[in-house]
Amino acid sequence: MKYNNKSAKTHRGIKMIKNIALIRGDCASPEFVEQAVRVLNKIAEKYGHTFNYTETYMGGSAIDKFGDPLPQSELDKCLESDSVLMGSVGGPKWEGLPGEKRAEKGLLRLRAGMGLYCNNRPAKIWSQLKAASPLKESIVDKGIDFIIVRELIGGAYFGEHSTTVLPSGEKQALDLMPYSEHEIERIGRIGFETAMKRRKKLCCVDKANVLDTSRLWREVMHRLQKEFPEVEYSEMFVDNCAMQIVKNPAQFDVIVTENLFGDILSDEASQITGSIGMIPSSSLGAGTRGLYEPIHGSAPDIAGEDKINPIATILAAGMMLRYSFDMDKEADDIERAVSAVLDKGIRTADIMSEGCTLVGCKGMGDAILAEL
């Protein structure tokens, strides 16, 4: 499947051809991924680009088709693409499977196979949705606009896991959290570089009062700090950071942290913005090929009902244009279109408020396309 309009002109006079591995995901995911594809096709028409899509299976759909959450053939499609746009995976249908066969295992293998060691998740509240935040108005008015840079393929999620039986007959479980200096340095450097592009504030979140891994993180970050003297650098224990995100989120610009802490904090941060249906994410490695997805799940409870919010996936497509394809103007167009739709009071159920117009997933896609 591809979309092209050869008569259109881009703002740079360059027509680009990009190959996108498209993982439609499970349950309600294909519904919102389809809206993101429609937006990408509109961008292709407007700027004269060609986007070629390769249908790729991962998660539950891959289990159904291949008996494996990520066969090598599907990973190869991702590795041969310019980037990957993905819906959410998993659902009740596959929850009883053994660990290696679970839908979510495919995602971990995809990240590792693509060498995606950095997950960037923005926590930004749109001005039109301030009332949707669970935080007090006095807190929200100070602003919520920060990004969590999370190490993605190390730590406890990729360490050794084992369960043994002690001589007493009692079971004991062990999960290791390994980190090497080069793993910390490459994600730490991205944290500093991201801060340089924003408000030049970086907070490293750890548990250095308890964990050796955290103490090594600080040692490496202190070395990196010397390379970025313009960045205001600080450190915070993860338990305190969890509290500060809901107490005073305006203090944060960029947070860099390890895999487990980043997983938890980024989910917390998404909630204070009003709806997880608005938050995209990107996962990147050494090159420009990335994995772009919404942060929310596959919504099995409303699958097929045209109720899910597609905005997070549409914004994820915009992030792909910006960070993997160097299409800043095109990405700006998508963000402006989303903002214009919100200005008009058009809402899906998760962000609905009094006086606004309720639409479904396709209706939101239609409204955004109209603004493009």
CA pair distance 250, 237, nearest whole angstrom: 18
Q: What's the CA angle centered on 269, arms 341 and 149, to 5 degrees?
A: 100
CA pair distance 85, 81, nearest whole angstrom: 10
Q: Which two tokens stand for residue 311?
A: 């905005």
CA pair distance 254, 69, nearest whole angstrom: 33
Known catalytic residues are 157, 207, 239, 263, 267
CA pair distance 304, 312, nearest whole angstrom: 18
CA pair distance 152, 290, nearest whole angstrom: 13
Task: Give the single-character DSSP code of 116.
Answer: -
318 neighbors 289 (Cβ within 8 angstroms):
no
Q: Which two tokens stand for residue 88?
A: 């959410």
Q: Which two tokens stand for residue 317?
A: 């497509």
Q: Which two tokens stand for residue 98?
A: 């053994």
Residue with tokens 């749109």: 126
